[in-house]
Structure 1
Amino acid sequence: MTLRTRVTLAAGFAVLLAVVTVSVGVYLLVRDNLRDQIDESLSRRHGDSAEQRDFSHGTSTAPDHLPLIEQVFMQIVDRDGDVVSRFDDRPLPITGDVLAVARGEREETFFDAEVDGTSVRVYVTSSEQGTALQVGRSLNEVEQALSRLVWTLIAVSVAAVGLAAAIGRMVAATAAAPVHRVAEAAETVARTGELSHHIAVPGGDDLGRLAASFNTMLDALSESLSRQRQLVADASHELRTPLATVRTNVEVLARADELVPDDRALLIRETVAQVEELTGLVGDLVELARGDGQEEPFAVVDLEEIARRAVDAAERNHPSIVFRVDSAPTLVRGAPGRIARAVSNLIGNAAK
């Protein structure tokens, strides 16, 4: 799953969670508000004492404030649970709370019931002569309003989630663009091996720092590769002469029976010296290759002495060439080993 898809899904899910939470809260608030309005209407109007007397005395007409006759249910129940008077032939359920009101144990109560398949909100209040008046109001209007509210909230939720997903996708595309550039640069470097392929730094934010870090890494890799190539070139240059000399001496020693003892002994000493020099050089190269070699500290050294030692080594490597040293004591400050190597390279190159 790509970063863009994850951000899009996260934004959509977050908005969906928020919208569902708000929708549930709105639904419960509206439902309770509508039911409270019905309870208030039933208790305020149908509890009127004059209305109760008229209904108790057999009045068969509905009150003026109840124009929807099919939505209203009314009956009077005595303390024994018998119906004394009924508004029509639709009976309301008689519960223990209704009998408690008829017997004077409670002043009033509300409960939900179902009459002929219709949800009804029933209000019960004390009436005359130890009876209870039950007034019911159909909840069809409330249920229809709540149903419309539910569909409205669903439509709003779907639209909000869709809008959030679209905006989240655009934001993710914008935010992930630098990441894509870094990925493309990394793929280009891996494919071509070209470490100079830098990416533009968009700014000082997290993605900008990521791009800058990637460029720094490329520079470090490029420098490391350059040092590696230089190390290989230096190693081949440094090892060529001593290896050639050792090979020549070994070939001559192979015909040792043709040499006089003094020449043979001198050749052996020179070969051993070359091998020791070669061993030290290989050790230096290994330390450089590992990267754990310590930088040689600077010191005051005698350049004349270094030059004479380099000439002595060159005479052994190039016996057919005459070397002459014209010098005076000269003190310089530097790394002794590196100065000696530089002088030896100069003399060796001149001899070649």
Structure 2
Amino acid sequence: MSRTAGRGSRRLTRWWRLRSLRTRLTVIAATAIAVCVFLAFQVASQLLESELQDAAEDQLRADSRVLATDAERAGLAQVRLPPYPGSGRLVRVVLPDGSTRTPDGQPALPPVSDHAGRVARGASTDLMESGDIDDGGYLVYTLRAGGGAVQVARAADDGPVNQFGLGMLLIGLLCVVGGALVGRAVARTGLAPIDRLTAAAVRVAHTRDLDADIPDEGGGEIRRLIQSINDMLAALRDSRQAQRLLAEDAAHELRTPLTSLRLNVELLIRLDRRGTLDSALPAASRTRLLDDLGAQVAELSTLAAELTDLARGDVSDESTEVLDLADVVGAAATRARSRVPDIEVALDVTSVWVSGRPAGLQRAVLNLIDNAGKWSPPDQPVQVRLRAEGASAVLEVDDAGPGIDADDVPRVFDRFYRADSARALPGSGLGLSIVQRVVDAHGGRVTVARSARGGALLRVELPAAGSPAPDDAPARRTVVPPVSQK
């Protein structure tokens, strides 16, 4: 039984979910009206039935008092009983010996009850009771009179209640039908902005025109929904524009190294096919050419990795954890030395704990060190300092190079932007852009200034986290020397 009920409930739920919002509102409105009409019918029926019963009891008491008065004057045995009218009131006299008198032609009443007998014997003054006459409800009122009692009965009449119920049923049906129509009209009117919004969204999806904002109309929730969709379209426009710019800038930046790489490879292939590779390219020239090819491949690999990082945006499978930023800086300095053997890094770091993604932070620090290493003279190390300032972890990377011109500072973190003085150096112009993206993702900020040595000073501030290590951890001052060349 419960399994059948469960299947019926699931079927009803599935049917409800398949209905449109307009149909749901119509059904809800009609159901609400039907419930209200049913409750009103129940309350009104109870009130009407109670009023009718009170009126019937009052009438029985009045009739009994009249008959009791006559019985007191004439005696119970001689009192004249009113003739039976054929319907309605029934009367009976209970004599002191327990016998009864009734009018001629009147239907027989049930035997006198024990409670009514006690009234006739003087145990109580009166009694109101109910019983059955020919399977119909009735009321009997017994009143003490003349050594016995008089009884007046009236058959219960459900006709007015039934007529009232029929009328309420008809009114309820009309109300339900009217409520369904009104609910349908209200749903159609209330959902008209949603219909127009849906049509506009479908039109945008078909035309791919993200510039077509949806007109703002209505108020309250509808206006907020439209504004949210317009904000989403604006975000999509910005994203598509950023993708287009990224693709255009990437194509521009890839053109030069790919062209150089293709020319050098074609030269080697052409000379090799002619069999003049050894004679046309001496060993020293061939070594320089291969070194150029290796550098160009490395530059393309770096550019591809940076483009991948930028294209992914904030999407990362790496989880956030509480880590010591000093360890991240040390690992980045070691990687920088392995990538650029001539670079020298002086570390002056203190343990500062932050919440972040280790690989992303290491990539940002590595890009800062690589950028500083391009400008720092061979005899001047890149200085990396890490300390805690209040609730922030502050990382500073500076070099002894020429510094960044004031005109270039506003654009130094733009994608593919390279100052005129940096165009002859290797790089793609994406390193600092990646730094800013990583720092922003960690709730920090990065700024550019001039260092005390005259070069560029890049300062990163990140929110510090609770340290699982002692707060008085000593500073670690080390120098990462360049790799010796053999």
Q: For the Cα contact (< 8 Å) 1:56–1:76, is it kept in 2?
A: yes
Deviations 1:168-223 (A, max 9, x none): 22221122122222322333333333323432221440111001111111121122
By how many angstroms is 1:32 displaced?
0.7
Aligned counterpart for 1:57 among listed residues 60, 70, 77: 77
Alpha-carbon separation, structure 1, partners of 2:420 and 2:94: 121
By how many angstroms is 1:343 displaced?
7.6
- Bigger radius of gyration among the two: 1
Q: Which residue of 1 aligns with 2:297?
A: 275
Q: For residue 145 of structure 1, what is the amino acid of its counterpart?
A: P
Q: Which residue of 2 aligns with 1:124?
A: 142
By how many angstroms is 1:29 displaced?
0.8
Aligned counterpart for 1:84 among listed residues 100, 120, 129: 100
Residue 52 of structure 2 is aligned to residue 30 of structure 1: no
Q: Which structure is higher in strand share? A: 2
Aligned counterpart for 1:206 among listed residues 221, 227, 236: 221
Alpha-carbon separation, structure 1, partners of 2:130 and 2:420: 105
- Once superposed, what is the RMSD of the aligned Cα atoms? 3.0
By how many angstroms is 1:116 displaced?
3.8
Three-state SS of the structure 1 residue aligned to 2:142 is: strand
Alpha-carbon separation, structure 2, partners of 1:45 and 1:199: 80
Q: For the Cα contact (< 8 Å) 1:253–1:264, is it kept in 2?
A: no
Deviations 1:215-250 (A, max 9, x none): 111121122122222222222222122112212223
Q: For the Cα contact (< 8 Å) 2:91–2:151, is it kept in 1?
A: yes
TM-score in terms of structure 1 length: 0.77
Q: For residue 267 of structure 2, what is the amino acid of its counterpart?
A: V
Alpha-carbon separation, structure 2, partners of 1:260 and 1:219: 59
Q: For residue 71 of structure 2, what is the amino acid of its counterpart?
A: Q
Q: For residue 123 of structure 1, what is the amino acid of its counterpart?
A: Y
Aligned counterpart for 1:338 among listed residues 417, 420, 424: 417
Q: Which residue of 1 aligns with 2:183?
A: 168
Number of residue equivalences:
308
Deviations 1:25-83 (A, max 9, x none): 111111111110111111123223323345823445528xx9x5521211123466x43
Three-state SS of the structure 1 residue aligned to 2:153 is: strand
Pairwise mapping of residues 1-352 of structure 1 onto structure 2 (< 5 A)?
1-48=19-66, 49-53=68-72, 54=74, 56-62=76-82, 68-78=85-95, 82-88=98-104, 89-93=106-110, 94-129=112-147, 131-140=148-157, 143-254=158-269, 255=272, 256-258=277-279, 259-292=281-314, 331=405, 332-334=407-409, 335=412, 338-340=417-419, 344=423
Three-state SS of the structure 2 residue aligned to 1:114 is: strand
Identify the range of structure 1 (190-199 vs 236-245) with the bigger mean alpha-carbon deviation.
190-199
TM-score in terms of structure 2 length: 0.57
By how many angstroms is 1:265 displaced?
1.4
Three-state SS of the structure 2 residue aligned to 1:339 is: coil
Q: For residue 132 of structure 1, what is the amino acid of its counterpart?
A: A
Alpha-carbon separation, structure 1, partners of 2:188 and 2:93: 70
Q: Which residue of 1 aligns with 2:12?
A: none
Three-state SS of the structure 2 residue aligned to 1:135 is: strand
Q: 1:269 to 1:55 in 2, by over 3 A?
A: farther
Alpha-carbon separation, structure 2, partners of 1:248 and 1:113: 117
Identify the range of structure 1 (22-31 vs 334-343) with the bigger mean alpha-carbon deviation.
334-343
Q: For the Cα contact (< 8 Å) 2:130–2:140, is it kept in 1?
A: yes
Q: For the Cα contact (< 8 Å) 2:63–2:152, is it kept in 1?
A: no
